[in-house]
Amino acid sequence: MATSSSRSLADWFTAFEQEAFRLETLDDYSQSGGVEAYQEFLAGREQPESYKTAAWLTTVGNATAAGKRVYRVHVLSRPLTDYLRFELSWGYQRNMTAGEEFFILDTTDRESPIPDAPDFWMFDGSAAAVMEYDGSGKYLGSEFADDDRLAEFRSYRDTALAHAVPFTEWWARHGR
């Protein structure tokens, strides 16, 4: 397998062999994609067709059809921001149809077990891309962590999963 430095983040979404894991820690990604859909959500309108058929669904669908796992944990607390209401009610529901799995680590009534964890994607436990965002939720890019930090990212993943609940279970209790 090639090292993370020889592949871009986009390359990893087709190159990973077993699993792609995402840790989300922010309350707002509103300037990072789906901006039009977010505005429609806020206005109380229907999902745009372009959002319902986004390329991400093909990426996830191809991976899961090949027996690969795509999953994420979102660390959040209630009350939900407008963006989180959008992401969970539109985005997660949509992405689950392609086979992506979601978990929620709700820190409303407890301390986060991973307070310093960054947003990242991890592929096969062997490459971790740290995601960078500005204060308005705009994606600025990613940088792959050095191999000597991979155990740290695996620990973030494992701890997050150990404290999270499946999204559908959480949504049944706390969704709108």
Q: State the pLDDT at residue 6.
A: 74
Signed CA dihedral, 29, 30, 36, 42: sign only: positive
Question: What domain count does the chain have?
Answer: 1
Question: CATH number, domain at 63?
Answer: 3.30.870
Q: Is residue 2 part of a domain?
A: no
Give residue 42's domain range.
9-174
Tell me the pTM: 0.94
Q: Is residue 4 part of a domain?
A: no
Mean pLDDT by 10 residues, the chain (176 residues): 66 96 96 91 95 94 98 97 96 96 98 97 97 93 96 98 98 90
Q: How far apart are CA 155 and CA 158, in angstroms?
A: 5
- Spatial CA neighbour of 73 closest among 158, 16, 175, 174: 158
* 21-46 per-residue burial string, b: 16 or more CB within 10 A, e: under 16: bbbbbbbbbbbbbbeebbebbeeeee
Q: How far apart are CA 136 and CA 32, in angstroms?
A: 9
